[in-house]
Structure 1
């Protein structure tokens, strides 16, 4: 048993990878790790016939001893499994019924989906892993490539500072170029919700529109009288069914041969789909909350600033610099910086913010001319955070198109700057 499930670990990573860069959140882990692991485990479970039914996926019985059957035992078993079996609902009181699914009614309901359960579970495991592959493709390893090993412990201070300068310079030079990249990654988070809804609809169709009520019916079943209750598990996943095989007789006429079949694998199937019902319901609610939260993050700069402040060290100087910078970051720049904050140690994060802040200030002053000695804004009494804020604020005002750039009574000129 342990050998069967040990192969899952190589296919689906379990646990945290040491030294790996974290680019996805806990909701993504619930999808592509936990949910994929559950579906693959269930898929292996329904194919382990040696645990259920003594290695047989179906066992059919006809009238008389098996050596006297008109149709050989292996033939009737194979035929009924391939052609699917059916159930006949019982009409009347439940105490007169021999087995659920073997009744006296005229309506016949064929049950063939048990043949496809393992394929369906494998398909759903792949579907829950697909958004993760899309995320990795669109992310492109950007964070891992630019972080320069700073997410690992770097003891040498000079080496660490040199890497921080390279990373800060990249952040400055690539400002306002990450928006498309970030929008794609935010779309993947919305794709997780679409994937859950699609899988719920897929299960609903697969179980003949019974899945949406299945879990609650099983829960309410516990309070009913065992003698009179109608077991939804026996109705959707019958353990005892009927099968009819037609063959030519000695004179060429068609003869009908009935058999009662036992489907031991449905003992596992009924439990699996109860677990999947509540798991998908829970992960659907969690994903919906995550989508609403991420939508608020996209449209609210205040929330983005709050998240950025919580991502690293709580030094007052670092927080002031973050407040000064984050007001002017676009969504792509913010998302890249926030991802970095989740992967760096507090000390490294504080040093990176300070280096990034200094580069932005120096670049803005050089382009706007505010770094000249005659500039009143470069006096010693103004701290560097307020100075950067005024520089960036002036640049944003100058980027706006104006119909009054030139006045007849003055010699003012609009200076276009960009850091």
Structure 2
């Protein structure tokens, strides 16, 4: 098992330069790692046995394959009856001769692993796009500070390079950089919304049912938890196998089947239910934050001051006299990748650079 998930540890290793913020990392990287881990778990036949096991006396390999490919079914909304002690039992008698229109076929069962794998690709898409569009700019600007942490002279030299960089006119480049990042943030939010819709269609009322199931679980009502989760992930079902009879007419053989993976599915998706909602809420709040920083210049100034250990406001206004919104964004990304002390030195150097070109600060900051 460790060999299967070992590549994920490298995927989640902390880099010296962070091109994603914390919420972006949770949405596009941690979520992908969780989905891939769940995929490995569900596809590990070595640890969880066959995905379907049916009761019978002969040709069981054929029966298992047939029921796996063509699907088993349950009657109505449930395939079990709660017992007084909180357990449950399969009820083959309730699934006897029922009309075809009352059968609910478990068509999703063989697709769960593929859906999780597809979700991992979709959630990774914004991170993949941003890694391409970012082009290593932050690494170029900040990586030397990590390599030269013990060499003050080299750090001072690189600090002057940054001052020269932010004193130059890269407004169009920085605006494209900012616009690309915001597009990826919007894509993160869109992925979360689409994920809600598709999972609800795939499992049939997944979000509403699991809300009641988790409420029952927090109340310690395991009987109700089992009853509700069985509606989404039944543990036993019925399968009809058609074989040719002596006269050539098809003969129907009924089989009662167990679905062992649904024991794991119900717990995995209980966790994913909470995780997807948490991540979607954080991404939504981040989008509101991004709108606030775009609409309120004073908020951008205060965020820089907080990162720069509350540098005097007038000095900061002078340092950012010619700073556009895109410049502010790149400056903040640099500030998140170097120490606050070094970031304040950078802004003080920018203040001195601007003071040389114009002695009197403007009445209002442009940021």
Map 1:194-233 → 2, pairs under 5 A = 194-208=190-204, 210-222=205-217, 231-233=227-229
Query: Cα deviation per residue 1:29-49 (whole Å; 9 max; x = unaligned)?
Result: 211232112111111111112
Which of 389, 392, 411 is the aligned partner of 2:362?
Answer: 389
Which of 97, 115, 119 is the aligned partner of 1:124?
Answer: 119
Q: How far apart are 1:175 and its partner, in Å?
A: 4.3
Map 1:150-165 → 2, pairs under 5 A = 150-165=145-160
Distance verdict in 2 for CA 1:158–1:217, change over 3 Å: closer
In the alignment, structure 1 residue 99 sits paired with structure 2 residue 90:
yes
- Distance in structure 1 (CA, Å) of the matches to 2:191 and 2:229: 26
Aligned to 1:417: none
Q: How far apart are 1:153 and its partner, in Å?
A: 4.0
Distance verdict in 2 for CA 1:102–1:23, change over 3 Å: farther
CA RMSD of aligned residues (A): 2.8
- Distance in structure 2 (CA, Å) of the matches to 1:76 and 1:281: 39
Q: How far apart are 1:78 and its partner, in Å?
A: 0.9
- Residue 51 of structure 1 aligns to a residue whose secondary structure is helix
Structure with a larger share of its residues in helix: 2
Contact 1:101 1:240 in 2 (8 A): no
Q: Which protein is bigger by CA-based radius of gyration?
A: 1
Q: How far apart are 1:359 and its partner, in Å?
A: 2.9
- Distance in structure 1 (CA, Å) of the matches to 2:113 and 2:152: 55
- Distance in structure 2 (CA, Å) of the matches to 1:228 and 1:26: 37
Which of 57, 61, 68 is the aligned partner of 1:81?
Answer: 68
* Greater RCO (CA < 8 Å, at least 6 residues apart): 2
Distance verdict in 2 for CA 1:227–1:124, change over 3 Å: closer
How many residue pairs get aligned? The number is: 355
Contact 1:305 1:326 in 2 (8 A): no
Map 1:304-323 → 2, pairs under 5 A = 304-316=300-312, 319-323=313-317
Query: Cα deviation per residue 1:168-211 (whole Å; 9 max; x = unaligned)?
Result: 11211224232122122122122211111111112111113x21
Task: Give 5+ residue unaligned stretches, structure 1.
Answer: 366-383, 397-419
Q: How far apart are 1:343 and its partner, in Å?
A: 2.0
Distance verdict in 2 for CA 1:87–1:321, change over 3 Å: same
Query: Cα deviation per residue 1:118-163 (whole Å; 9 max; x = unaligned)?
Result: 1111111121211111111222111222346134444444433332
Contact 2:309 2:344 in 1 (8 A): yes
Q: TM-score by structure 1 length?
A: 0.77
Q: TM-score by structure 2 length?
A: 0.87
Distance verdict in 2 for CA 1:315–1:4, change over 3 Å: same
Contact 2:319 2:347 in 1 (8 A): no
Aligned to 2:2: 2
Aligned to 2:245: 249
Q: How far apart are 1:278 and its partner, in Å?
A: 1.1
